[in-house]
Amino acid sequence: MPTQPAASRRHPSRLVVHQQSRQLEIEFDDGACHFIPFELMRVLSPSAEVQGHGPGQEVLQSGKREVQVTALEPIGHYAVKPSFSDGHDSGLFTWDYLYDLGARQAELWQQYEQRLSAAGRGRDDPMPEAAASACGHQHGVTGVNP
């Protein structure tokens, strides 16, 4: 997984959300430019809902190929918080985290696909129904069944 350092060393000079190609274009002050697929951002979101609250609590994501970024909220001078079309909106993506996602995306895709394969799942499989998240409580549940 990408690392999430305490303080950003890199800063973006350009940030563009490309809805049609479902990619975030981010250019950094060192000249690096990355096109990061929304799907990769969603399946590797730095949120507790995806990463859990500790090692071994990660929740493998699937069925996110068509996900869109519906909003991108700046968080101070160090991060953005995307809202995704599947309702996920709790990940804070620091500039360093986004840099790492972009720079290592081939390696990260391979690791993700290996994890899916080991779990007997595919990228387009829907998320399995689960009573609770990896941390023991439900995230994003807004209703009660009658």
Q: What is the pLDDT of residues 33-78, one digit of tens each?
A: 999 999 999 999 999 999 988 888 999 999 999 999 999 999 999 9
If DSSP states are collapsed to H, E and C, what string results for the chain?
Answer: CCCCCCCCCCCEEEEEEECCCCEEEEEECCCCEEEEEHHHHHHCCCCHHHHCCCCCCCCCCCCCCCCCEEEEEEECCCEEEEEECCCCCCCCEEHHHHHHHHHCHHHHHHHHHHHHHHCCCCCCCCCCCCCCCCCCCCCCCCCCCC
pLDDT at 17 over 60: yes
Please tell me the predicted confidence (pLDDT) of residue 54.
Answer: 85
Return mean pLDDT, the chain. Answer: 87
Q: What is the reported pTM?
A: 0.83
Ordered structural domains, the chain, with CATH: 12-118 (3.30.2020.30)
Q: What is the pLDDT of residues 93-140, one digit of tens each?
A: 999 999 999 999 999 999 999 999 999 999 999 998 863 444 444 444
| Confidence class for position 1, pLDDT limits 50, 70, 90 | low
Please tell me the predicted confidence (pLDDT) of residue 131.
Answer: 39
